[in-house]
């Protein structure tokens, strides 16, 4: 056994990218796409559960890309409000 072997583990790394912002509607971190529960439990999850979470993360990205209307929605709302 080499000294380096002590620090090498066969664990799944965390998907954390240190951009911890919770999306207000989706309730997932915009950096790593995990739920708050998954983040809290990560260090205690067995490798199989971590792998399942990691496999699911890419499918969550569209939840954050959904637009809420932006400028066009604000202008429309403004027009409706001034029409009365």
DSSP conformation letters of 23-66: -TTT-BBTTT--BHHHHHHGGGS-HHHHHHHHHHHHHHHHHHH-
**Is there a domain that residue 38 lies in?**
yes
Threshold 0.85, pTM exceeds: no
Please give the tally of structural domains in the chain: 1
pLDDT at position 80 is 78
For residue 4, tell me if it sits in a domain.
no
| Per-residue model confidence (pLDDT) at position 74 | 75
- pLDDT tens for the chain, 84 residues long, are 565 655 555 667 899 999 899 998 889 999 999 999 999 999 999 999 999 999 999 999 888 876 666 677 677 777 777 655
Residue at 60 is within a domain: yes
- Decide if 20 is inside a domain: yes
The residue range of the domain holding 34 is 12-82
Residue 6 inside a domain? The answer is no
């Amino acid at each position: 056994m080499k000294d380096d072997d002590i620090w090498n583990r066969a664990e799944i790394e965390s998907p954390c990218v240190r951009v911890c912002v919770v999306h207000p509607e989706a309730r997932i971190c915009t950096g790593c796409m995990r739920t708050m529960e998954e983040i809290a439990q990560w260090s205690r999850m067995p490798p199989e559960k971590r792998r399942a979470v990691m496999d699911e993360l890419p499918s969550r990205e569209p939840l954050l890309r959904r637009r809420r209307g932006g400028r066009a929605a604000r202008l429309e709302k403004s027009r409706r409000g001034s029409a009365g």
